[in-house]
């Protein structure tokens, strides 16, 4: 279990601190201009190397259904994003918005491939007990699709040849994830970010309701919290009902 220190300003130019632990959830609720994004940026800078910042309120897009990153460029992109998130300008500007989406999808596909390689290695070693054990563990892509279903989103995501990500709706033909709606893309990025975050991470989720209907965002958050009880969450929102939904 990890602890994260959150320091924030109060009256008379004083500072107050709160400690949040893995498995705990904190909501920041306020109107536009109340300072939520400023606080989220401060929390990111106060916990370097232990934070996953998800700017769900900003536009998310995929230029195609393929990943342009190599392992080396993925690592460099992550360094650039971490450095950006430490800067004060990160409150209103994101110079690496496209790279964030690419890194998230790269990590999702990579985690799926890692699971497949483990099973293949155990099978080659004729360790059938290990194959059975590994096969019984839900894969990252299966988790993502379960959360999409629970969140009332009627799409499934699959990995095709060449690590292409495709979406399937009902019995319709598969199509590129680049063609998904803003809300669907946003939901996938939120889920993938949280599922692939290292254990004992402070997850800062900024305004997840911006592109998602309440009937989607409430079960989505509840399910993600259940999947990642090893992480701490700070969620900023305009929706005063969102915190109440998590206590039902």
Reply yes or no on whether the pLDDT at 93 is more than 90: no
- Name residues whose C-beta falls within 8 Å of residue 146's C-beta, 6 or more positions apart in sequence: 138, 223
> Which is higher by pLDDT, 30 or 247?
30
DSSP 8-state class, residue 87: S
Whole-angstrom Cα distance, residue 183 to residue 166?
16
Whole-angstrom Cα distance, residue 86 to residue 80?
10
Whole-angstrom Cα distance, residue 3 to residue 17?
12
What pLDDT shows up at residue 131? 84
Segment 179-185 long-range contacts (CB within 8 Å, at least 24 positions apart): 180/62, 180/155, 182/59, 182/60, 182/211, 183/211, 183/212, 183/213, 183/216, 184/153, 184/155, 185/60, 185/61, 185/62
Residue matched to tokens 């999808």: 105
What pLDDT shows up at residue 223? 92
> Which is higher by pLDDT, 58 or 209?
209
What pLDDT shows up at residue 220? 92
CB 227 within 8 A of CB 19: no
Whole-angstrom Cα distance, residue 119 to residue 174?
27
Express each pLDDT in 179-213 by its tens digit: 888 888 889 989 999 999 999 999 999 888 887 88
Average pLDDT of the residues in 224-248: 88
Express each pLDDT in 72-89 by its tens digit: 888 888 888 888 877 777
- Name residues whose C-beta falls within 8 Å of residue 182's C-beta, 6 or more positions apart in sequence: 59, 60, 211
User: What phi-psi label fits residue 150: left (phi over 0), alpha (psi between -120 and 50 degrees) or beta?
Assistant: alpha
Segment 84-88 long-range contacts (CB within 8 Å, at least 24 positions apart): 85/41, 85/44, 85/45, 85/51, 85/53, 86/44, 86/45, 86/48, 88/41
Whole-angstrom Cα distance, residue 174 to residue 222?
28
What pLDDT shows up at residue 41? 87
- How many residues in total does the chain contain? 248
**Judging by DSSP bridges, how do beta strands 232-237 and 25-29 pair with one another?**
parallel
Reply yes or no on whether the pLDDT at 59 is more than 70: no
Give the Cβ contact number of residue 157 at 10 Å.
21
What pLDDT shows up at residue 248? 56
């Amino acid at each position: 279990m990890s602890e994260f220190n959150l320091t924030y300003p109060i009256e008379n130019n004083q500072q107050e601190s709160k400690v949040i632990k893995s498995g705990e959830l904190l909501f920041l609720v306020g109107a536009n201009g109340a300072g939520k994004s400023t606080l989220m940026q401060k929390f990111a800078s106060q916990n370097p190397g232990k934070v996953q910042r998800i700017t769900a309120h900003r536009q998310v897009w995929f230029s195609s259904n393929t990943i342009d990153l190599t392992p080396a460029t993925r690592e460099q992109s992550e360094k650039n994003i971490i450095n950006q998130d430490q800067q004060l300008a990160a409150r209103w500007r994101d110079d690496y918005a496209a790279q964030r989406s690419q890194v998230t999808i790269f990590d999702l596909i990579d985690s799926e491939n890692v699971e497949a390689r483990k099973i293949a290695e155990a099978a080659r070693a004729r360790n059938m007990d290990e194959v059975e054990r590994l096969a019984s563990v839900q894969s990252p892509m299966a988790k993502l699709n379960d959360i999409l279903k629970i969140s009332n989103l009627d799409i499934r995501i699959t990995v095709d040849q060449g690590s292409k990500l495709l979406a399937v709706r009902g019995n319709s033909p598969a199509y590129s994830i680049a063609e998904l709606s803003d809300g669907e893309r946003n939901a996938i990025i939120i889920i993938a970010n949280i599922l692939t975050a290292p254990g004992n991470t402070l997850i800062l989720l900024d305004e997840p309701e911006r592109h998602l209907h309440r009937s989607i965002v409430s079960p989505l958050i509840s399910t993600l919290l259940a999947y990642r009880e090893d992480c701490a969450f700070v969620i900023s929102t305009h929706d005063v009902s969102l915190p109440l939904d998590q206590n039902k």
